Structure 1
């Protein structure tokens, strides 16, 4: 199979498909700019959780647990409050169980396709969402900005480039995460019990009953130490945990190994992400979400040093940019 990029359908929805050698991927611009599929077609691997034909209604109701959803601003905000520069923005309460706002506005928004095509060694697509007074989210977070995503597919796997630009005339908060949903197993003949996950975590944040950080840390369990060191079964317990990110060997990443096949999926997210969230759907086998996050949950409401909790601003005209890559390596 060669290298190509084209507009098509994914389960009836408008998509941009990328192909390069053994790999293919699909983006849904109209549903949150979600990178909904990344596959190795030769081996039959499906690395990301896809809704499938029967699951499209569920996906549209809950698009945060499939593919690679964009969270901006990410995770939970206490009582929907986002204090910034002497003001308090009021985000909608959309998690009734906790009374919090969760996950922001972009993972359900319509994005625009700016460009797609092929180069000598890759296929690519660039999508963007531009927020101004006309955008529905502006009334909650009144800043003008552009978020742009470029996905490239090659023999080196799937690359992701994310760029945020402040288009307004005031400093804005730069808050971002990806709720990446990874299949375990990703190989059709393997079982979840064949899998081990390793994650570059540091300390575990203590969360209160509303799933908000207290500002304190909790000791790691033996399984969490294994998660950081040699790897652990991804569903050893129900996980909805928040950790600091501590790069290993210069890199900030998740590694998911199929021990039966000796194949590892690497999710290298870059060192601008200072926190990890890991959620595994109550410990049910099938998929889990290693979520790279710039900022601590509820960061604008937490009284800790801004640098420590990843709370930073973009001045007018400034950009923030980071890259990530999903790729496969043999371990045996």
Structure 2
């Protein structure tokens, strides 16, 4: 296996490139640690939505709808405020139309590359944030913690390993998600009519006019039932929806099937993510974002059991870890 890991450029920006067999990937450490490209170079598949050179200025201004943006905390929080375990948190309101805080503090700041290289089976890169009193996020999220992500590329596809460790004395809410943007179709000769998907969703959260959960569920429509079993176009309706995760046979995943290529793109996120968002930019027909989250949107402001809303508190020295995988396999039968 020909594995490579090296510093280079992507559309004029500093990048760490990984190569393994017929796969390649690019990570942008200075733009939110975004793994912005994942490709099958032999078959010409661009699996993730990438910004073109002409789109780079817009991407840097809003780096949330390309690649794999890192959301900590994920999604929206009412007025940017909540209280938890005796601490009051106040985040900047950065979504004027809802008056909420949106998407956290790490998707648009530099990440440190602590290591990159190869071994017999893979190429890899490790990025990290060491949050203390001097970090830009600390005034809003007053905890000291270590946050690392290891991406590895091999013949098995792309692997993401996340670790978050509370280094402070106070219990720390661990709230994380990824705004992963998939091209659909991802094969150059396929069309949106060739694409269907399934997703391990459970209940749909009811959202209010500010896109915040009310604490109640809504009945699933026919297309959403097909998301759970059988498959449906990712563009069957405009979606900006929030769901509980319901793993099947221990697997929590979205599977995108290309009937023309007879291939399945699998995003197995791991069971540590208890919630899903899904957004398809008004059924645009080109890309959509299945977003795994540990917690429900606005979780600390919901008067519901912690397990139901995925609200995780890390004690001093405690870590949260999860592994996700993206890979392609043949459709059987």
Class of the TM-score when normalised by the shorter of the 2 chains: over 0.9
Which consecutive aligned stretches of 4+ in structure 1 deviate over 6 angstroms post-superposition?
Answer: none
Q: What does residue 19 of structure 1 align with? A: 19
Write the distance in 2 (CA, Å) between the matches of 1:134 and 1:128.
Answer: 15
CA deviation vs aligned residue, 1:254-299 (integer Å, no higher than 9, x gap): 0001111111100000001110100001111111000000001000
Write the distance in 1 (CA, Å) between the matches of 2:177 and 2:87.
Answer: 23
Q: How does 1:1-332 map to 2 (within 5 A)?
A: 2-332=2-332
Alignment gaps of 5+ in structure 2? none
Instruction: Give the TM-score normalised by the residue count of structure 1.
Output: 0.99
Write the distance in 1 (CA, Å) between the matches of 2:325 and 2:173.
Answer: 25
Instruction: Give the TM-score normalised by the residue count of structure 2.
Output: 0.98
Instruction: State the Cα distance separating 1:152 from its structure 2 match.
Output: 0.5
Instruction: State the Cα distance separating 1:167 from its structure 2 match.
Output: 1.6
CA deviation vs aligned residue, 1:124-152 (integer Å, no higher than 9, x gap): 01110111111111111111111100000
Other structure's SS at 1:225 match: helix
Write the distance in 2 (CA, Å) between the matches of 1:287 and 1:62.
Answer: 16
CA deviation vs aligned residue, 1:182-210 (integer Å, no higher than 9, x gap): 10111111111210011000110000010
Instruction: State the Cα distance separating 1:22 from its structure 2 match.
Output: 0.5
Write the distance in 2 (CA, Å) between the matches of 1:83 and 1:190.
Answer: 48
Other structure's SS at 1:249 match: coil
Write the distance in 1 (CA, Å) between the matches of 2:191 and 2:83.
Answer: 45
Write the distance in 1 (CA, Å) between the matches of 2:222 and 2:160.
Answer: 33
Other structure's SS at 2:137 match: helix
Write the distance in 2 (CA, Å) between the matches of 1:312 and 1:117.
Answer: 33
Write the distance in 1 (CA, Å) between the matches of 2:83 and 2:73.
Answer: 13
CA deviation vs aligned residue, 1:210-268 (integer Å, no higher than 9, x gap): 00000110000001000110111001111000001000121000000111111110000
Write the distance in 2 (CA, Å) between the matches of 1:53 and 1:121.
Answer: 32
Write the distance in 2 (CA, Å) between the matches of 1:164 and 1:92.
Answer: 23
Other structure's SS at 1:185 match: coil
